[in-house]
Structure 1
């Protein structure tokens, strides 16, 4: 019985092997279907070289062109004035910004002026006797001397004898001592150098001000400057007085500025040069962030395309007889989204939109809007 079962299983195995072998032979002889050629539809443009203006985008914050940092050079109590010392307060030229208590120092100045007056008065009798020719001018000086006004300049000494006589009585040294004290006395009052507005106030009336302390910031709000960094390769192309288009971040406001200064040195770290753009407008405020478009130069016989169309090998795709190919190009200038190219022959059909998986030799068909 066991022998019979093994015989039957052997026959079944032989029959199965025969059918499997026949199936494999039949599949091997089947003709494989030919894959249809896929033609990719692309967008393309015909090249026509022209003059491309190279515009350098830049941005920065506005700073008042005339800016006055307020620092104290003397010490004392901040006396209240007719106008509050607060941010946003407007002042006219020559108006008092800060007045510091100076009564003690004023007394010192008056004492020194009195000593000078007494020293000159003490030599008048000797001048009348020994130097009658110079006596009238010193007498006139003494008569014009007013303790409540600035000390007038000493009369000019015309001879060595007069010079030795006056200097020997310490008149000259006393005079310059008084002028030094008067100069320091003037620092107790800070006045505005121009019409403007206070943008920062770091002290209040009644507080003690110390020497060297920063008090605030005063600006002229009529003229602003924006500092931008430009590549050194364009340094020779920028000229003072060149017009610059400016706009805010939202793009809702546009302004016209001009290049007021160009720095003469290149930043060694960034290899950029600082350019200062002057702009005037009633809507502008210090600290505003603006974008600028600086016209650097016009590039002749060039084209401008999207940056993502330029391959890493500095080549671009062209279409020749419905076949994709590449040609080498010369990039001249890169912006955020565009690139200016040269050495692209007129009449070349270049790809105008990126092709996913594109390669040289790919069959393509140029999309024609008129036929669709």
Structure 2
């Protein structure tokens, strides 16, 4: 009986716990956790406005200022000049680069000179009869005629009667016809118009050439210009610069430049203005046709600027950190200095983000870390 009562008491206590336990637990709210929000760390540059100079650069290629295609006005078999020429060979002014076989034309001129001499000899009797005072002049002219040399200068006429007499015998007509053939004979030889270099050859010795056929391409040694496409908005900076420099791809200064001429139209491919400059090598540097060079000039800015990386500026806007919050500030890009931008309009000592954060919240707090 006693054991039975103990069991009933235990069961009663369990029942009370099961009924009132959930009710009591609902009265106790959940424990609130306090979360400490941490600020986002961003790298910044402390703005320091300084007077600086902006560098302007453009890219161009060295081209020959004087370039000629060697062509003949006559036809025939192509012969070697003073020496056999291949691309890269140099030559001196006045040297024979190429010639065309002139044997047939040469013998034809020999024959015409001989015939002309005979015409004058047959005329001596009439000259002695009608113009005895002019006889010695014409005899002296005949003595100077050599079949293998150019005709000497035709004697001048001392009277209209003498002139009409000579012309009636076709002496002047034949004389000038032979002189024309002599001039044409000189076109069988091509002499170098300057000191230069062979760039390309299009025909070999022994081939047959026709009038206007290109034989080779030659350029004048040491006479170069640089063609540089320059942005329209930057052209005035190069035009007004006190000094222009040419730099090799490795940034070595190879020479100075001077603008020769500027195109009046925009290059449709580059949307720039084609500008042509002379180049004067310095410090022992050599310039070759086809070299790619950077054209550079510097201009001192009137406004003070802050040097920033490209990543800090987007559409002429930067972000500065003020009271742990981001502020967007509109600025002015004044130019380039190496790989950086020169920016005007930034408050002194402002903390400028090194990289512009797109879609950043103005309510998020940030912590600055100076680079």
Superposition TM-score, scaled by structure 2 size:
0.75
Q: Distance in 2 between matches of 1:240 and 1:315?
A: 30
Equivalent positions of 1:152-171 (< 5 A) are 152-157=152-157, 160-171=160-171
Q: Tell me the equivalent position of 1:259.
A: 258
Conserved? CA contact 1:221–1:285, under 8 Å:
no
Which consecutive unaligned segments of at least 5 residues does structure 2 have?
Answer: 1-17
Q: Distance in 2 between matches of 1:119 and 1:350?
A: 103
- Structure number, greater radius of gyration: 2
Q: Comparing 84-93 with 133-142, which one deviates more in the overlay?
A: 133-142
After superposing on structure 2, the runs of 4+ consecutive aligned residues of structure 1 that deviate more than 6 Å are none
Equivalent positions of 1:50-129 (< 5 A) are 50-60=51-61, 62-129=62-129
Q: Tell me the equivalent position of 1:12.
A: none
Which consecutive unaligned segments of at least 5 residues does structure 1 have?
Answer: 1-14
Q: Give 1:132 shift.
A: 5.8
Alignment CA distance shift 1:322-1:164 (3 Å) = farther
Q: Give 1:98 shift.
A: 1.1
Q: How many residues align?
A: 345
Alignment CA distance shift 1:158-1:51 (3 Å) = farther
Q: Give 1:187 shift.
A: 1.8
Alignment CA distance shift 1:368-1:234 (3 Å) = closer
Q: Tell me the equivalent position of 1:6.
A: none
* 3-state SS of paired residue (1:50): coil
Conserved? CA contact 1:318–1:350, under 8 Å:
yes
Q: Tell me the equivalent position of 2:199.
A: 199
Q: Distance in 2 between matches of 1:159 and 1:341?
A: 88
Superposition TM-score, scaled by structure 1 size:
0.75
Q: Give 1:170 shift.
A: 3.3
Q: Distance in 1 between matches of 2:115 and 2:243?
A: 61
Q: Distance in 2 between matches of 1:240 and 1:130?
A: 77
Q: Tell me the equivalent position of 2:41.
A: 40
Equivalent positions of 1:141-160 (< 5 A) are 141-157=141-157, 160=160
* 3-state SS of paired residue (2:290): coil
* 3-state SS of paired residue (2:314): coil
Alignment CA distance shift 1:224-1:271 (3 Å) = closer
Which deviations, in whole Å up to 9, do the C-alpha atoms of 1:53-106 show, x marking residues without a partner?
A: 33122132x223333321232222223455222223232221111122110011
